[in-house]
Chains A and B, each alone.
Chain A
Amino acid sequence: MTNTSPARRRFLIGLLASVSLLPLVGRLRFDEGGFVERDGWILRRSDLS
């Protein structure tokens, strides 16, 4: 997760800027299987670390 190139960084900054308009409800739900649900996303716990 390091090594972000300037181009990629610009891409991510652009993305983050565009989400500022999205409503964020911040729902969080854990389950036993090593997954976590956040804002509707079904993620691996490691996705959030």
Chain B
Amino acid sequence: MIFANAAEFEASSFQPKVCIVGAGPAGITIARVLAKLGTPVVILEAGGEEVTEESQDFYRGTTVGDPYFDLDVARLRFLGGCSNHWAGWCRVLDASDFEARPWVPDSGWPIGRHDIEPFLGEVQDILDLPAFEADRPIDADISWIQLIKSPAVRFGQKYREEIATSDRIALVLNTHVTELVGDGTQVTAARIRSNGAPARDLRVAQYVVATGGLENSRLLLWSNERSGGGVVPKPAALGRYWMEHPQFIAADALLLRENAFEMDAQNEAFFGPSPAALQRAGIMNFGVRLISTPYAGVKETVAHLACTAPSFSEWASSTVGLNLTCGGHLSVGWEQAPVAENRVALSGSERDADGIPRIELHWKKGELDRRTLLEGLRLFGQSMARADLGRVRLAEWLLEGEEYPEGGELAGYHHMGGTRMSNDPQKGVVDSDCRVHGMRNLHIGGSSVFATSGHANPTTTIVALALRLGYHLSGLPHVTA
């Protein structure tokens, strides 16, 4: 069932047991699992079926620290959420991403990749993915990795019909939660506005917040402030350890062997490191994207190599002929070090149309981030040279310790952390079941629960975690139909 506003929903006799806040990939996935297993569920979605300026305005905010995208451009506030403009790149976090690494402070999840693996088959169906393939090692340090492309499933479109005809899911559009009310042990109500006016509080057995990787923190910070700690009773990590995948073109490559890698439809290939190489280098996980460019763009790089190593360049050109001219830029996206100071905070001065503080995002890349970029590219360049697949040239700004270039890629639009998963409430907000520490009936869906971020695009893991949460919730005694 789909309702255009809260009044229409209230007029129905539908009695949900679970309230899901947000109809993006996480919220829709959790709702579908619950409905399939017999639980009546309501999804409250802030936006309608199309993007509007009024709705996007709620997403405005400011960033303190490194340059970042405008927060209302980096996400979409309507049915389907950011799946309406995601690119569809898919890969599950590596098994080693879940582990505690001695050289990465505050690393380690309370679950392992084996905990989400049983759900990956369903993830493939949901994201319309071909089979996941194994990475192909170039040597002990670097593999040609399989990042696969979904047709960028728009969740609002793909699942609209299923939701509209479901008698167990009520999707209420143009209706947002302004605040959760809690007593420090449970949420007692969700406070709601619909089409710009207050609506009746909603009271159900279980609440799931799935409003995206920035908004989850904002809603909980505000709710906690209003209820004097009644929603997140152990708030030490709330909003903190926020992470992105910083991303920059930081090197060029020349390939010595044509067809060394199969380029994808975008003329790109992806590479990643082995856990042992990361440990040896003492850096975060990273992914290298080879963006193949035509000869004209590579010519200067060839010329530079000819000058730096004339005899090598002569040998290479005599051995492989003009195939040496095949190459491109290397863009690196990496796992940002989890740092408590990187956080979503409530602005002291800026408020939205409801009078709720906007986001003030504190975000900076640190020393370990910079080292990951440089040493990661060194690992990659050495593997390419060792296997005689090509040669890599590091960008001048990187070697010279200059600022990151502006106007480039910056980051992946991946919003992670803020309500991270940890068994220790000092270091995290949710436990291994995505339940807020100390709260009986409040769970979180989405990448805000990521304890660390790996380098993989997040949505594949978000959907796997959402399935896991859906099955978990459906087994709780007061949720079972």
Q: A residues bordering B, Cβ < 8 Å?
A: 1, 3-5, 8, 11-12, 15-16, 18-19, 22, 24-25, 27, 33, 35, 37-44, 46-49
Q: Is the Cβ of A15 less than 8 Å from the Cβ of B306? A: yes
Q: Is the Cβ of A39 less than 8 Å from the Cβ of B312? A: no
Q: Is the Cβ of B304 less than 8 Å from the Cβ of A43? A: no
Q: Does B267 contact A (CB under 8 A)?
A: no
List B291-313 residues whose CB lies under 8 Å from chain A. 299-300, 302-313
A sample of 10 cross-chain residue pairs with beta-carbon separation below 8 angstroms, ordered by A number, consists of A1-B318, A8-B314, A12-B306, A15-B303, A15-B306, A19-B303, A35-B385, A42-B392, A43-B308, A44-B385
Nearest residue, chain A, Cβ from B395: A40
Q: Is the Cβ of A40 less than 8 Å from the Cβ of B394? A: yes
Q: Does B399 contact A (CB under 8 A)?
A: yes
**Given pairs A16-B306, A18-B299, 14 additional interface contacts (CB within 8 A):** A8-B314, A11-B322, A19-B303, A22-B307, A33-B382, A35-B382, A39-B304, A40-B251, A41-B309, A42-B391, A42-B392, A42-B393, A43-B308, A43-B385
Q: Does B239 contact A (CB under 8 A)?
A: no
Q: Does B149 contact A (CB under 8 A)?
A: no
Query: Known contacts A3-B318, A19-B304, A33-B382: does B399 contact A40 (CB below 8 Å)?
Result: yes
Chain A, interface SS category = mixed
List chain B residues, Cβ under 8 A from A33: 382
Name the distance in Å between B391's Cβ and chain A's nearest Cβ. 6
Residues of B in contact (CB 8 Å), total 33
Q: B residues bordering A, Cβ < 8 Å?
A: 251, 299-300, 302-315, 317-318, 322, 378, 381-382, 384-386, 391-396, 399
Which one of B304, B309, B386 contacts A22 once the chains associate, using CB atoms below 8 Å? B304
Q: Is the Cβ of B307 less than 8 Å from the Cβ of A12? A: no
Which one of B310, B315, B386, B391 contacts A41 once the chains associate, using CB atoms below 8 Å? B391
How distant is the Cα of A48 from the Cα of B384 in the complex, in angstroms? Answer: 16
How distant is the Cα of A37 from the Cα of B317 in the complex, in angstroms? Answer: 20
Nearest residue, chain A, Cβ from B254: A41
List chain A residues, Cβ under 8 A from B399: 27, 40
Nearest residue, chain A, Cβ from B306: A15
How distant is the Cα of A43 from the Cα of B381 in the complex, in angstroms? Answer: 8
List chain B residues, Cβ under 8 A from A46: 312
Query: Known contacts A42-B382, A42-B394: does B317 contact A19 (CB below 8 Å)?
Result: no
Interface centre among A12, A18, A42 (most CB of B within 10 A): A42
Nearest residue, chain B, Cβ from A33: B382
Closest 9 CB pairs of A and B: A42-B381, A47-B312, A19-B307, A15-B306, A19-B303, A40-B394, A40-B393, A1-B315, A15-B303
List chain A residues, Cβ under 8 A from B313: 12, 15
Q: Is the Cβ of B308 less than 8 Å from the Cβ of A41? A: yes
How distant is the Cα of A27 from the Cα of B394 in the complex, in angstroms? Answer: 12
Nearest residue, chain B, Cβ from A42: B381
Name the distance in Å between A6's Cβ and chain B's nearest Cβ. 12
List chain A residues, Cβ under 8 A from B305: 41
Name the distance in Å between B283's Cβ and chain A's nearest Cβ. 15
Nearest residue, chain A, Cβ from B396: A40
Q: Is the Cβ of B314 less than 8 Å from the Cβ of A1? A: yes
List chain B residues, Cβ under 8 A from A38: 308-309
Name the distance in Å between A20's Cβ and chain B's nearest Cβ. 8
List chain B residues, Cβ under 8 A from A19: 303-304, 306-307
Interface centre among B318, B381, B384, B395 (most CB of A within 10 A): B318
Name the distance in Å between A26's Cβ and chain B's nearest Cβ. 9
Q: Is the Cβ of B311 less than 8 Å from the Cβ of A4? A: no
Nearest residue, chain B, Cβ from A9: B314
Q: Is the Cβ of B310 less than 8 Å from the Cβ of A16? A: yes
Query: Known contacts A4-B318, A33-B382, A42-B378: does B396 contact A22 (CB below 8 Å)?
Result: no
How distant is the Cα of A48 from the Cα of B114 in the complex, in angstroms? Answer: 47
List chain A residues, Cβ under 8 A from B392: 41-42
Name the distance in Å between B301's Cβ and chain A's nearest Cβ. 10
List chain A residues, Cβ under 8 A from B306: 12, 15-16, 19
Query: Known contacts A8-B317, A18-B303, A19-B304: does B311 contact A49 (CB below 8 Å)?
Result: yes
List chain B residues, Cβ under 8 A from A48: 309, 311-312
List chain B residues, Cβ under 8 A from A27: 399
Name the distance in Å between B256's Cβ and chain A's nearest Cβ. 11
List chain A residues, Cβ under 8 A from B394: 37, 40-42
Which one of A1, A39, A49 contacts B308 once the chains associate, using CB atoms below 8 Å? A39
How distant is the Cα of A33 from the Cα of B281 in the complex, in angstroms? Answer: 13
Name the distance in Å between A31's Cβ and chain B's nearest Cβ. 8
List chain B residues, Cβ under 8 A from A25: 396
How distant is the Cα of A49 from the Cα of B221 in the complex, in angstroms? Answer: 62
How distant is the Cα of A8 from the Cα of B378 in the complex, in angstroms? Answer: 30
How distant is the Cα of A1 from the Cα of B303 in the complex, in angstroms? Answer: 17
Name the distance in Å between B328's Cβ and chain A's nearest Cβ. 15
Q: Is the Cβ of B318 less than 8 Å from the Cβ of A8? A: yes
